[in-house]
Amino acid sequence: MKFSLTALTAAVLITTAPWAMAQNVAIVNGKPVPASRVAALEQQIAATGRPVDEAVRAQLKEEAILREIFMQEAQKRGIGATEEYKQQMELARQTIMIRALFADQQKKNPVTEADIRAEYDKFVAANGGKEYRARHILVESEDEAKAIIASLKKGGKFDEIAKKQSKDPGSGANGGDLDWAAAGSYVPEFSAAMVKLEKGQLTQEPVKSQFGWHVIRVDDVRTAELPKFEDIQPQIAQQMQQQKMQEYQQQLRDKAKVQ
């Protein structure tokens, strides 16, 4: 016995099939997989900066189909009724809502270029001027530091003494070398003594700080080389956005009535 479509049924299928194909990427066990799911996956990929080409779209389509298959199986097993599933869904809901809240806050309170420029100017003011290539030897007592200064004046090698006697393990292993840094990078007592030295000069008296007694030598001095605004603008913007978000979160925490 042969079966055939009636004229009416055939007309309905002809008119609805193109629409169905446009709305769905597949039908899995009679259940449609909406194209919007693939679009959502595409958005996630695009947000990471990766290009979405036809090959990627094909992979995402397959992923959407697999997700539907696995979801159907999970529903058959009653996974959705378990307490663990409900707890995980609640956590996921909270995460999505909080992420959306923070995105909305950033959109409504953006970091402007003027804000970034002002922050850069503060950075320049704090780090401009001179940079020093200094060495130091850190010891426990003033007498030990004085003995080192006397030894250096007699021709002792600074790097050799630093390696043997300095209790600063980082610089000591490098002959006392502290690399290039602005004076503000050091504790006040150290900075005050260092900036008085010319290139090649050694402190004539030990310098006391919270860490012990220092013998300091300046190997070189130069004008600070600071990055251009355009080169670090993205990093400054990111840091300022993070700072604003932290402040916003703290404001919410402070206003909340927690018992």
176-188 average pLDDT score: 93
According to the model, what pLDDT value does residue 9 have? Answer: 34
Q: Under a CB-based contact definition with an 8 Å cutoff, are residues 24 and 35 in contact?
A: yes
Per-residue pLDDT tens over the stretch 109-128: 999 999 999 999 998 887 77
- Does some domain include residue 32? yes
Q: Under a CB-based contact definition with an 8 Å cutoff, are residues 207 and 149 in contact?
A: no
Q: Under a CB-based contact definition with an 8 Å cutoff, are residues 65 and 25 in contact?
A: yes
- Does some domain include residue 254? no
pLDDT over 90 for what percent of the chain?
Answer: 83
As a whole number of angstroms, the distance between CA 184 and CA 206 comes to 20
90 and 159 assigned to the same domain: no
Per-residue pLDDT tens over the stretch 192-241: 999 999 999 999 999 999 999 999 999 999 998 889 999 999 999 999 99
As a whole number of angstroms, the distance between CA 26 and CA 13 comes to 16
Q: Supply the range of the domain harboring residue 74.
A: 8-99
145 and 209 assigned to the same domain: yes
Residue 233, exposed/middle/buried by CB under 10 A (0-12, 13-18, 19+)? Answer: middle
Number of domains in the chain: 2
172 and 214 assigned to the same domain: yes
- Does some domain include residue 84? yes
- Does some domain include residue 249? no
- Does some domain include residue 217? yes
- For the cut 60, the answer to whether the pLDDT of residue 6 exceeds it is no
141 and 84 assigned to the same domain: no
90 and 161 assigned to the same domain: no
- Does some domain include residue 153? yes
77 and 138 assigned to the same domain: no
